Structure 1
Amino acid sequence: MKTIIKWPGGKSKELNYVRQLIPKDFDRYIEPFFGGGAVYFDIEPKKAIINDRCKELILFYKYVKDDLDRESFKVELYRYVDCWEKISNYMEAVFEELLELYLDYRQGLANSSQMKERVLAVFTENTVAIDNHFNINFTILPGNLLRQMSKNTIAKLSRIMILEEKQGCLSTEDLMKNIETAIRSGFYMHFRDLLNTYSVEGRIIPEVKKVANYYFIREFCYGSMFRFSSKGEFNIPYGGIGYNRKNFRKKVDLIFSEKTSKILSNTIIETMDFEDFFQKYILTDDDFVFLDPPYDSDFSKYEQNSFTLEDQIRLSKCLVNLNAKFILIIKKTDFIMDLYRDKPGVNITSFEKTYLYNVRGRNNRKTEHLLICNY
């Protein structure tokens, strides 16, 4: 089974390496750094204990499992699906006007300031269309949605003009795709603003809304990455034109499928430090532990719960004394090799991984990874 949430550093593409090492017989599956849970969903264990420090992620899994109010979460998440699909209908209400004003801008019949004013007018005059397609109670701040759609459309049209000056005019079809991307980006940015907001006009956003919104942002942010500003605000942009036709409904259908419910039904879900986790649960040689901790690199700082070198040392001490069988997958560095090299009973193999995304040059395209196990 595939994972139900996008997560940076997911191990879906490494499953062929991991499968070869997984013990054939074990009683419980244990995963202290769960994330997207690619290995868990692939092997579909009958009993499991999973853990992650990210509270929003764990709340998501608890709502899906029905440890929390699953039905309310389901209703809220499908509201995102419905509104995402309605953007195509909203495009029909504004596209012709936006295309006309851009062609005037391209032909020099309107300058940059006039283009911006006309874009704002198009969205302002179509507030009824926004209200009809996107319920006010759902958007919470409809004025911000309007502002973000306008802002992203203005920025997109300005970039298109620069692109066309270098490479020639885009077709009407390509202009439509780009304008749709701007509108969808504005929709995404509005809900990203909500992600960074605890309350709106003195009204606290309900937890079920926050978790559904968190899932939506994880699904549509570029590369499923984490990055936060100096103010602690999540600031990854919309994934881009390739995300416009994503089958969001199919993904949410999987979340609430009978198969997902069955897998999670016998799973204990925790959120704590990994050392506390190991102290809470007594593991035996009938257990299998899979570990995919944040790597020994700057990338581990892209999540607000940073994972330091001291944490890597703590983890290595836990694993050396672990009774259960374990597999640790991690990027190869001198520091990591020094932690595990020559430890009794520890076996180390390696493979190359190619990263699909590169954030500010901090990820090498090809990196050697280690598979460390104690059997």
Structure 2
Amino acid sequence: MPAASPGLPAAVLVGADVGQPHPDPQLLELHELAVSAGLRPAGSSFSRRRHIDPALYLGSGKVVQIKDQVLEAQAGCVLFDAALSPVQQRNLEREFGVPVWDRTALILEIFARRARSGEGKLQVELARLRHAATRLVRGWTHLERQQGGIGLRGGPGEKQIELDRRMLEDKIKQLQLRLRKLQRQRSTQRRSRRRGSQLQVSIVGYTNAGKSTLFNALTHARAYAADQLFATLDTTTRRLWLGEGLTAVLSDTVGFIRELPHSLVEAFKATLDEAAEADLLLHVVDASNPQAEQQIEQVQQVLREIGAEQVPQILIYNKIDMLDGPVPPTRRRAAGQLRASIDSFDVSALSGLGLDALRERLAELARKQLLHAEAADACSGAEAPAPQADIVHPV
């Protein structure tokens, strides 16, 4: 788990079982998200409830306990490992006297900090505006309570909310137009690459599973890689040399995470299309993480959302150098349930262990791709079969 600097703003972490078991009762991932957002976790609270309180999410007694923690730690904010409604967020901020961030807002904040390219910044800004558009009532509560005159409700407050909503809608439309233009450019670039005979491969996986480290190890690139959530947001594409004149096009994509905000998936559609239109996915799994099985399912959920669930996958169990023995069977269990899985490899992208076998498999697939392209050229315009001749989807 990454450590936070003592000089960073303090935050209290909050989670709860509400009707079903929480996937991370120790709030380890929320801790990592907090550090990635430039905060210092200074306390945590976890409880179990039968249902969600519509006003406070938690019970009033638990809210009082958390308020005491905030005062004791002199925390500057409270982080919830759940999605809060605008009403719940407003009420909790009144109770705690500090800003309250839910999981969605926290992930959006991290994306905003990490975006580097012009496209990445546009995508994050669009996602944040869409999120803000659902919470206008919270931003203007001081105006909502104003009255327009004797016997009248609303008045200036209502007008300000409508103005603000229109401003957000106009800004969102402008960003959508700019991103559509970039999406068309990306589509043109992909079509250009597909005119050749190269295998198109995208690396996907849960955030911090080691995707960028694997990308660098295979391509000898210098893409930024760090032991933190969402270290890189922008897609990086490089040519992968496989020997004997064989090459593939390898793309490193943004990492996924549990409850990835839908607004981010929508905003990053142009980027995520790299995975949806690939010939093959390298699905990187952190083999050292006890939650590996759940993380595989979370990645599959996002792949379904972007239309990439049928793209053949090779499961890459990374970080095996951090295990005392072989990969536990429970962490492989989810792989047997993937219809698109064709193979799996145990590797350490950091040390290079197991990468030679992976390269050989990729060279085999690239050779098949090349033979297919040559056969298609010899068909004199006849429609060729699908290029993934050796990729069989298990039933």
TM-score bracket relative to the smaller structure: under 0.3
Higher RCO by CA contacts (8 Å cutoff, separation 6 or greater): 1
Structure (1/2) with the larger strand percentage: 2
